[in-house]
């Protein structure tokens, strides 16, 4: 649905909508021929399935493997092909860094490099945040001509690098090769406007690598998602409601804040996220709850851990239902099959539960059932219109 039509049709109501995003939810068959979702103990999600309806989402389009930014932007109702948000802006905003008009940001990973300069671990064994904080303090010693530099820790091995100055451009390549066994990519411009910035980044990476050379873990840096602050219509204004995000990881807080949602902070676990929703239930009409651990297990290639992460989320469903939402959506921002240990292009399972749902008589929340559900296979950007229509928040179109 086009955003101008949403503005015309959206209307206030007293109903509550909860969007639960299990990061990287979709999977592929494992050793017993069933996916992580199909193997998981999901009694509560299966009960919602019996009372609701199923479908699948395409985060961007058929055959397109999305990053987390496009995956979430789509679920919030924006066309990710129109509103492109880089990982740098997401991470920076997520930790409360106020990106200015002359800033470009990249999401960084501390990584492990061998003696030949090849990447042996893109995440440096998921270094603890405290150690990454110390490394960021060391990297702040680097200065470059004509720009201000900011190096801020995020979580685990992640950090944000921000360059501030006139004439900077995000039209340059990432340095993260997205795999092990190869060297980091050398930053180059993708358009003439990015030549100067690419040169600055090459110099920064060279000096950062020299500073970190003696470390046993985290002796290299990888940069991805170059971007500035995007210009997009605020989510609460589009839908005429009060919206809040309850996340643990900063990047997902960032994408919600860039869309205009409030961020309710302080949670470190799923149960704490639900407790915060309960505390602020009367203040908001829409809650976005993000759950990371399905994705991190999938990216690590750990089928059993992803299966267990899904089962742990399932145990939280009664506490979410106790808040009495009118509409509950459970889906993912993309698929991350453990067999691929990476994001994939596969459609993502979708469950819609609420007062006005037309049931499809399925009994298990699974990839196979979602392929035959009432909703069908839809673009992720159509999930919000569908959810808010079920909540009575879209007026009739035309006479």
Question: Which CA distances in Å does 310 have to 103, 196, 241, 392?
Answer: 38, 46, 30, 30
pLDDT at site 372: 96
pLDDT score of 206: 95
Give yes or no for residue 27 having a pLDDT over 80. yes
Q: Residues with Cβ < 8 Å from 326, sequence gap 6 or more? A: 15, 16, 17, 354, 355, 390, 391, 392
Q: Which has the closest alpha carbon to 242: 280, 279, 278, 283?
A: 283
CA–CA distance, 190 with 204 (Å, rounded to integer):
18
What per-residue confidence (pLDDT) applies to 345? 97
Structural domains of the chain ordered from first start: 3-83+231-390 (3.40.720.10), 90-227 (no CATH)
> E strands of the chain, at which residues?
17-22, 53-58, 103-113, 119-121, 148-153, 158-164, 220-227, 243-246, 262-263, 286-291, 327-331, 348-354, 376-379
| Digit-coded pLDDT (tens) for 278-315 | 999 999 999 999 999 999 999 999 999 999 999 999 99
Please state whether beta strands 119-121 and 103-113 pair in parallel, antiparallel, or not at all (unpaired).
antiparallel
126-148 mean pLDDT = 94
C-alpha 56/C-alpha 79 separation (Å) is: 17
145-154, 252-261, 305-314, 364-373: which has the minimum mean pLDDT? 252-261
Collect all residues with Cβ–Cβ distance below 8 Å to 310 and sequence separation of at least 6: 22, 25, 36, 37, 40, 42, 294
DSSP-derived 3-state class of residue 237: helix
Q: Given this model, what pLDDT does residue 105 score?
A: 94
Tell me what pLDDT residue 100 has: 84
CA distance 140 to 262: 30
Which tens digits make up the pLDDT trace of 189-221? 999 999 999 999 999 999 999 999 989 899 999
Q: Three-class SS of residue 387?
A: helix
Determine the pLDDT at residue 120: 95
Provide the pLDDT for residue 297: 96
Task: Say if CB 19 and CB 291 are below 8 A apart.
Answer: no
Q: How confident is the model at residue 244 (pLDDT cuts 50, 70, 90)?
A: very high
- Residue 84 vs residue 271, higher pLDDT: 271
pLDDT confidence of residue 137: 95
Q: What is the pLDDT of residue 334?
A: 97
Q: What is the pTM assigned to this prediction? A: 0.80
pLDDT for the residue 79: 95
Q: How many Å apart are CA 147 and CA 161, to the nearest integer?
A: 12
Q: Which residue has the higher pLDDT, 87 or 364?
A: 364
Quote the pLDDT of residue 39.
97
Q: What is the pLDDT of residues 109-125, one digit of tens each?
A: 999 999 999 999 999 99
Q: What pLDDT is stored for residue 87 in this prediction?
A: 80
Residue 161 in 3-state DSSP? strand
Residue 1 pLDDT greater than 80, yes or no: no
Given a cut of 90, whether residue 5 has pLDDT beyond it is yes
Q: What does 266-332 look like in DSSP terms, one character per residue?
A: ---SHHHHHHHHHHTGGG-SEEEEEE-HHHHHHHTT-HHHHHHHHHHHHTTHHHHHTT--SEEEEE-
Q: DSSP letter string over 124-152?
A: TTT--HHHHHHHHHHHTT---TT-EEEEE
Tens-digit pLDDT profile for residues 164-186:
999 999 999 999 998 999 999 99
From 93-97, 275-279, 382-386, the region with the lowest mean pLDDT: 93-97
Residue 147, both tokens:
């720009």
As a whole-number percent, the residues of the chain with pLDDT over 90 amount to 87
Local confidence band at 95 (pLDDT 50, 70, 90 cut-offs): confident
Contact 37, 27 (CB under 8 A): yes
């Amino acid at each position: 649905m086009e955003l101008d039509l949403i503005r015309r049709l959206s209307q206030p109501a007293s109903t509550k909508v909860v969007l639960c995003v299990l990061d990287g939810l979709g999977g592929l068959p494992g050793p017993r021929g069933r996916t992580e979702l199909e193997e998981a103990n999901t009694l509560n999600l299966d009960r919602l399935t019996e009372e609701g309806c199923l479908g699948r989402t395409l985060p961007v389009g058929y055959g397109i493997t999305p990053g987390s930014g496009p995956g979430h932007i789509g679920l919030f109702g924006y066309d990710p092909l129109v509103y492109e948000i880089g990982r740098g802006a997401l991470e920076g905003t997520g930790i409360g860094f106020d990106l200015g008009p002359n800033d470009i940001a990249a999401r960084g990973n501390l990584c492990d490099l061998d003696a030949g300069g090849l990447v042996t671990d893109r995440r440096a064994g998921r270094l603890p945040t405290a150690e990454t904080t110390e490394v960021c303090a060391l990297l702040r010693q680097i200065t470059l001509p004509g720009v201000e530099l900011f190096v801020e820790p995020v979580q685990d091995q992640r950090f944000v690098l921000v360059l501030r100055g006139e004439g900077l451009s995000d039209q340059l390549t990432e340095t993260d090769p997205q795999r092990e066994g190869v060297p980091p990519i050398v930053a180059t411009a993708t358009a003439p406007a990015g030549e100067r910035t690419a040169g600055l980044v090459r110099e920064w990476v060279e000096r950062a690598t020299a500073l970190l050379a003696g470390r046993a873990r985290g002796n290299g840096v990888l940069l991805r998602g170059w971007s500035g602050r995007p210009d997009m219509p605020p989510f609460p204004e589009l839908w005429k409601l009060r919206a809040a995000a309850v996340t643990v990881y900063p990047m997902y807080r960032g994408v919600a804040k860039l869309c205009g949602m409030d961020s309710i902070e302080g949670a470190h676990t799923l149960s704490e996220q639900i407790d915060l929703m309960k505390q602020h239930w009367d203040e908001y009409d829409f809650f976005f709850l993000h759950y990371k651990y399905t994705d991190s297990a999938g990216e690590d290639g750990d089928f059993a851990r992803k299966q267990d992460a899904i089962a742990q989320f399932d145990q939280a469903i009664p506490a979410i239902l106790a808040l009495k939402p009118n509409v509950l959506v459970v889906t993912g921002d993309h698929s991350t099959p453990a067999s691929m240990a990476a994001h994939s292009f596969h459609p993502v399972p979708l469950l819609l539960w609420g007062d006005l749902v037309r049931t499809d008589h399925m009994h298990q929340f699974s990839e196979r059932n979602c392929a035959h559900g009432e909703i069908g296979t839809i673009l992720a950007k159509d999930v919000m219109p569908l959810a808010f229509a079920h909540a009575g928040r879209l007026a009739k179109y035309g006479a």
